[in-house]
Amino acid sequence: MIHILPDELVDRIAAGEVVERPSAVVKELVENALDAGAGQVDVHLEAGGRKLVKVTDDGEGISRDDLEKVYIRHATSKLSRLEDLFHIASLGFRGEALASIGAVSRMQITSRCRHGAEGACAANEGGRLLPVRPAGCPPGTTVEVKNLFYNVPARLNFLKTESTELSHCVNCVMRCALAFPDVGFTLLHNQRKVIRAEQNTTIQDRIARFFGKEVADGLIPIETEELGIRLSGFLGRPELGRHDLRRSFIFLNQRYISDRAVHAAIRRAYREVMPEKFQPVYFLHVGMPPDWVDVNVHPTKIEVRFLDGARVFSAVYKSIRNALAGNETCAAGLPPHGLNPSTGIRPSWIPAMPGPDPFFGEQAVAEGRGASAGARFDDPAGAGPRLSEKTPASHPDTGGLPGFGLHEQEEPIPLPERILQVHETYAVFETPDGLAIIDQHALHERVLFESLRREFECGGVRLQNLLLPSMLDLDPSQAARMNELCFDLSRLGIRAEPFGRDTLKITAVPALLKTIDPVTLTADILDRMMRGETGEQAYLDLLHRVACRGAVKAGHRLTAEELSALLITAGRIDFSGRCPHGRPTKVIFSKKDLEELFKRRGF
């Protein structure tokens, strides 16, 4: 038999969603205060919030008439029409917090409008509303929630220790304080002060207060707009990296959110400068038009859904990456090495970089030599993607292949002075101020990654046709998706076509990676695709792996010319001081360091 549940029971069930623990009450009440335009919000807790949560604000207040409605489910002043739902500018809008909290506690709201003559008070005893009565109070609102879950013993049992519940409440107030640096906040627990943040401060002040000087001193400001998405706030220097997310904050239109895609985009950008196992520190405000995001997908609105997730990923990744690249301590490039780059031949394994080519000079770029020759994706009459190569007109002698044929010509290169390969792993050279040691694999990996990334960003990868096609056997799940995989591979610069039902015929690979066995390369990439990775994130991961596979290994003998060519190219890219996994590519000893090491000074 089907029952229609009584309102009281409906309210209790609904309360379970919104009010999970005391910190949820704190969150809802503080957000209401902020929506009411408060300049000061004071929170008092007892027993981790279980006995008492009291929030006082100096916001616009609630009129006596409205107090009559305040506990009614779906009663809100923030939304009136369906269209409003797609332009939410307030933190609340569902009109259910007060009804839900009232259903599972003894609650009282005392309020006076900013210009009202007197205040009023509305109480709710576990879902039973008492008549609104006049009350003396200053302008603003005080909400008291006592004995949370007194009528839901099962919920009480789920609560953790007082200190755990308190720490959730503290986190909640801290997030609001970081989102609204103009608003003053205090948090008292059992009469003891836990948080105090004055009005009209800056985010930096708040970060210093909550996380200490070390964090506050290690911040890189960010203020950008990319693809219509504004980013502002602070990024922690790589050294601040941690093993948890407790110093990683994302605010969307002043709402604290937890969004995996945004976190992933930030981490991805940080991978340039710190090892993957660390979690970067950041306090990032993301701003976008309210109709680009649906905040109504989670009862506590902590998760959101973006209209165009790929755009958000891309904007966040690019902005953070640029901010890090523009920061000297993060991007720390290579020192000048005194090599004369005006003449020489780039070895085939070192990619050309856009811009004036140090190996050929300005002219070479104008002729299309050396620099990336641009995008190659044609889609003739919807026949699916097809990669085509353009051969730079200036050297047909390369056998119709794009890329580096030219550089393999035997031409003399002037021997650079003072560069030495050590243990077939490192290069040592003199700098104007001391000496530098380079890890050849790490640096080459970075150079390859940068060049691949730039090629992709420009929309195309130069291809190298294989003299003989390579065959790769697919497993049944791969075979079932063969056409789709071929398309995705083509975006990565691997041209493959079905050959029979479960074999791929690989006919071209990225020119930069022609030294890798095409079957190994492709199988590796297919594995990732089969694990469900798509889009830019998987893409960049692949590039990392591809760069790693393609980079010269330790144990590989390089000539002085090759080493100097590598250094010259590295001088022209972002993040040349770190490999794509965040390891340093170089160690530098200044003259002063050397003098100290040899105790030449102060003796």
11: contact with ligand ADP by CB under 6 A:
no
Name the 3-class secondary structure at 8.
helix
Residue-level length of the chain: 603
457 vs 322: CA distance, rounded Å = 14
Residues 123-142 as x/- pattern, contact with ligand ADP by CB under 6 A: ------------------x-
90: contact with Mg ion by CB under 5 A:
no
Give the number of other CB atoms < 10 A from CB of residue 289.
11
- Quick one: which segment of 57-65, 117-125, 193-201, 567-575 binds ligand ADP (CB under 6 A)? 57-65
Q: Rule CB under 6 A: choose which of 27, 44, 64, 94 binds ligand ADP.
A: 94
The pairing of beta strand 305-306 with beta strand 377-378: unpaired
Subset of 65-84 contacting ligand ADP (CB under 6 A): 70, 75-78
Q: Rule CB under 6 A: choose which of 11, 42, 57, 439 binds ligand ADP.
A: 57
**Structure-token pair, residue 249:** 């904050």
Q: Which residues pair with 219 in a beta bridge?
A: 236
98: contact with ligand ADP by CB under 6 A:
yes
The candidate with the shortest Cα–Cα distance to 322, out of 275, 285, 280, 273, is: 273
Residues 140-159 as x/- pattern, contact with ligand ADP by CB under 6 A: -x------------------
Nearer to ligand ADP, 256 or 270 (CB): 256
The pairing of beta strand 106-112 with beta strand 248-252: unpaired
Please report the beta strands in 494-570, taking only residues with DSSP state E, as ranges in sequence order. Answer: 495-498, 503-510
Residue with tokens 């509303």: 129
372 vs 159: CA distance, rounded Å = 60
269 vs 257: CA distance, rounded Å = 19
CB 283 within 8 A of CB 232: no
Q: Which residues pair with 129 in a beta bridge?
A: 124
- Quick one: which segment of 59-67, 339-347, 456-464, 491-499 binds ligand ADP (CB under 6 A)? 59-67
59: contact with Mg ion by CB under 5 A:
no
97: contact with Mg ion by CB under 5 A:
yes
372: contact with ligand ADP by CB under 6 A:
no
Query: Residue 574 touches which of Mg ion, ligand ADP, none (CB < 5 to 8 A by kind)?
Result: none
Closest approach of Cβ 72 to ligand ADP, in Å? 9
581 vs 566: CA distance, rounded Å = 19
Cα-only R_g, the chain: 31
Give the number of other CB atoms < 10 A from CB of residue 596.
13
112: contact with ligand ADP by CB under 6 A:
no
183: contact with ligand ADP by CB under 6 A:
no
Give the number of other CB atoms < 10 A from CB of residue 63.
14
* Count of residues touching ligand ADP (by CB under 6 A): 22
102: contact with ligand ADP by CB under 6 A:
no
Query: Residue 77 touches which of Mg ion, ligand ADP, none (CB < 5 to 8 A by kind)?
Result: ligand ADP
**Structure-token pair, residue 585:** 């590519």
33: contact with ligand ADP by CB under 6 A:
yes
Nearer to ligand ADP, 88 or 364 (CB): 88
**Structure-token pair, residue 23:** 């910190």
**CA 154-158-164 angle, 5° bins:** 150
Closest approach of Cβ 48 to ligand ADP, in Å? 22
- Quick one: which segment of 88-96, 201-209, 241-249, 342-350 binds ligand ADP (CB under 6 A)? 88-96
- Quick one: which segment of 88-96, 486-494, 540-548, 573-581 binds Mg ion (CB under 5 A)? 88-96
Nearer to Mg ion, 32 or 522 (CB): 32
Q: Rule CB under 5 A: choose which of 48, 49, 59, 92 binds Mg ion.
A: 92
Query: Residue 78 touches which of Mg ion, ligand ADP, none (CB < 5 to 8 A by kind)?
Result: ligand ADP
28: contact with ligand ADP by CB under 6 A:
yes
105: contact with Mg ion by CB under 5 A:
no
Nearer to ligand ADP, 42 or 60 (CB): 60
What single string gives the DSSP state of each residue in 295-362? -TTSTTS-S-EETTHHHHHHHHHHHHHHHHHT-HHHH--PPP-----SS----TTS---SSSBTTTBH
Nearer to ligand ADP, 42 or 96 (CB): 96
376 vs 60: CA distance, rounded Å = 59
279: contact with Mg ion by CB under 5 A:
no
Which residues are near ligand ADP by CB under 6 A?
A: 28, 32-33, 36, 57, 59-62, 70, 75-78, 92-98, 141
Q: Give the footprint of Mg ion on this chain (CB under 5 A).
A: 32, 92, 97
